[in-house]
Amino acid sequence: MLKIAIIGATGIVGQQAIISLIGHPWFKITKLAASERSAGKNYREALKDANGSSRWWCPEELPEEIGNMPVEDASSFDATSVDIIFSTMDAGPAKELEPKYAKTTPVISTASAFRYEPDTPILVGGVNMEHAALLAVQQKNRGWKGFISPKSNCTIAGLVVSLKPIQDAFGVKQVVMTSLQAMSGAGRTPGLSAMDMTENVVPYIAGEEPKVETEPQKILGKFTGETIENAPFGITATCTRVPVIDGHLVCAFVQTEKPCSPEDVKKVMMNYGKEFAELALPSSPAHLIDVTDDPFRPQPRMDRDKGGGMTVTVGRIRKDPILENGIKYVCLAHNTKLGAAKGALQTAEYLVKNYLKLV
């Protein structure tokens, strides 16, 4: 069993990482770390707020073994004490601490701190695994024994999975999208209050649209041997927050290079990802994309947990009457599973098996 540390363990994504790793056949959680405020407490105590209430977010019960585990200070954490680090910190501390860890130890990160570095891939399961070869360039450039492999922005996790088969079969010229994002994507602190979100939609998420408008081109780009050449299409986005707990919905309008029908798009989506699924990674679903003909689906409450929260659900595939070669559809992904903790775990599984060759 490989020894795993979770850094930022008290946050929502850190908690999801814990649940995703419980009973894993390859990995065992042996260390937890968080901010100085939580350090020195056991994990159960570190989760308590100022009123003594637990901030445990997951519907699953906190395992006794994890609850009693001591929480270390992330700023002084010894990265050599584990085989792999899962970093679920915010971007600020991640920018400072992840390079320190990566000097000796592989870091799988949900933070945005290193996503845009030219020697750093943004891996999304089944979409761009050939980009993993860029990690060797990163290690050489920086003199690291480990590496940093960041997860994508949670909003585009479902979008890029749905775009990849379209890109491969028909080419993508441009994308117009609007997101309806769950509240859990805002985190717990500062998060969003029930008073703000009940009977409401917030039409702006600070810093979100620039990420959504740039990350997919890198993820869907070509590895040149030294860096990644971005895909040439453009994206314009509007990102909103809606009163849903989990599950990011995206309404996508895609102009393709070649003409295609909704039936063509449905076919390539349903056939997509078979080779990746055959790798039988513990966290991977049997199907990367599930296409529904029900005009009222996908819906977050009904579809977000498909494939253990790792399957993207696509519905309402239609011709667009304005865009030349236009296709429009709705896709749904679980933002704290595929879009964060469990997606990062899937990346770790792939890298351990195919890059590090440790299993």
Distance from C-alpha of 322 to C-alpha of 305, rounded to nearest angstrom: 34
Token pair of 156 as six digits: 């585009």
Q: Are 279 and 132 in contact (CB under 8 A)?
A: no
Distance from C-alpha of 163 to C-alpha of 155, rounded to nearest angstrom: 13
Who contacts 52 (Cβ-Cβ below 8 Å, separation ≥6)? none
Question: What letter would DSSP give residue 195?
Answer: H
- Evaluated on CA atoms 201, 204, 207, 212, the torsion sign reads positive
Known catalytic membership, residue 251: no
The active-site residue, picked from 154, 239, 260, 331, is 154
**One-letter amino acid for residue 256 of the chain:** T
Token pair of 197 as six digits: 């979100």
Known catalytic membership, residue 248: yes
Q: Are 273 and 287 in contact (CB under 8 A)?
A: yes
Sheet bearing 71-73, strands edge to edge: 71-73, 27-34, 2-7, 84-87, 107-109, 148-150
The active-site residue, picked from 24, 58, 131, 248, is 248
Using CA atoms of 342, 283, 271, 228 in order, give the dihedral in degrees to the nearest 10: 60
Q: Are 7 and 86 in contact (CB under 8 A)?
A: yes
Q: Are 22 and 65 in contact (CB under 8 A)?
A: no
Distance from C-alpha of 211 to C-alpha of 155, rounded to nearest angstrom: 9
100-103, long-range: CB < 8 A, 24+ apart: 101/7, 101/77, 101/146, 102/142, 102/144, 102/146, 102/147, 102/148, 103/79, 103/143, 103/144, 103/145, 103/146
Question: What letter would DSSP give residue 226?
Answer: S
**One-letter amino acid for residue 37 of the chain:** R
- Residues belonging to the active site: 154, 248
